[in-house]
């Protein structure tokens, strides 16, 4: 029951249905999920550990707001972790894996050509998930999943910048090409470069909005 409450609440936060700074009232959650209050409390503790919820003294829990500077730090951390993941993927990749990665790139290219930037961004998520699956590095995957869940409100921020989507496609192609060759050094470098560029784009967007 606790796991169910945790997964359902986490999904609500990650999907954006529960917004940053929104109050998480135990009684309301018990009613909406149909679970015990003890399960809700345990779920909120786990979500706080994930960095998705924070507790304020005498005010209870709320969805944690991640600011631009923290989002940039998360992307920098992801660059290190996903660089490792890309390296492991290059060591494990099969012909079927390469075909899947290239199929995702083809979909991304088609969507970008049609101007559907939001759908192309979803392909971005699919590509990173596929590379993690190929890598088979559970610890890195768990850490990246936790970090990604904190970036939900920034998911589309960078790809909407002029020219950024085309650069993202090129960066992804470099990652996939290196993985397909089984070149771990190049795969790690390409992934680090890609996520570092995403961090720079977010930094630029934050500066423009200041």
Domain boundaries defined on the chain? 2-63, 68-209
CB 201 within 8 A of CB 84: no
**Position with higher pLDDT, 88 vs 159:** 88
Give the torsion sign (CA, 111, 173, 195, 92).
positive
pLDDT at 135 over 90: yes
* Joined tokens for residue 86: 């890309």
Q: Which CATH number fits domain 2-63: 1.10.10.10, 3.10.20.600, 3.40.50.10280, 3.10.129.10?
A: 1.10.10.10
What is the CATH superfamily name and number for domain 68-209? Answer: GntR ligand-binding domain-like (1.20.120.530)
Name every residue whose Cβ is closer than 8 Å to that of residue 79 and which is 6 or more positions away in sequence. Answer: 191, 192, 194, 195, 196, 199
pLDDT at 210 over 50: no
Mean pLDDT calculated for residue range 122-143: 94
pLDDT for position 2? 60
Burial 147-159 (b: 16+ CB within 10 A, else e): bbbbbeebbebbb
Q: What is this structure's pTM?
A: 0.80
Rounded to a whole number of angstroms, the distance between the first and last alpha carbons of the chain is: 44
**Position with higher pLDDT, 76 vs 17:** 76
């Amino acid at each position: 029951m606790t796991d169910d409450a945790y997964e359902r609440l986490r999904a609500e936060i990650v999907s954006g249905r529960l917004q940053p700074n929104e109050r998480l009232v135990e009684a309301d959650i018990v009613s909406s999920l149909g679970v015990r209050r003890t399960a809700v409390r345990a779920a909120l503790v786990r979500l706080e550990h994930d960095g998705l919820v924070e507790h304020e003294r005498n005010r209870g829990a709320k969805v944690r707001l991640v600011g631009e500077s923290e989002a940039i730090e998360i992307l920098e951390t992801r660059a290190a972790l996903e660089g490792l993941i890309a390296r492991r993927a290059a060591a494990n990749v099969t012909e079927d894996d390469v075909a899947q990665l290239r199929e995702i790139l083809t979909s991304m290219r088609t969507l970008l050509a049609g101007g559907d930037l939001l759908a192309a961004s979803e392909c971005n998520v699919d590509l990173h998930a596929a590379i993690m699956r190929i890598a088979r590095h559970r610890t890195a995957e768990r850490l990246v999943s936790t970090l990604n869940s904190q970036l939900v409100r920034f998911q589309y921020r960078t790809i909407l910048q002029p020219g950024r989507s085309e650069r993202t496609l090129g960066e992804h192609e470099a990652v996939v090409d290196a993985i397909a060759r089984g070149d771990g050094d190049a795969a790690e470098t390409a992934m680090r470069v890609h996520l570092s560029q995403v961090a720079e784009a977010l930094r630029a967007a934050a500066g423009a909005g200041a």
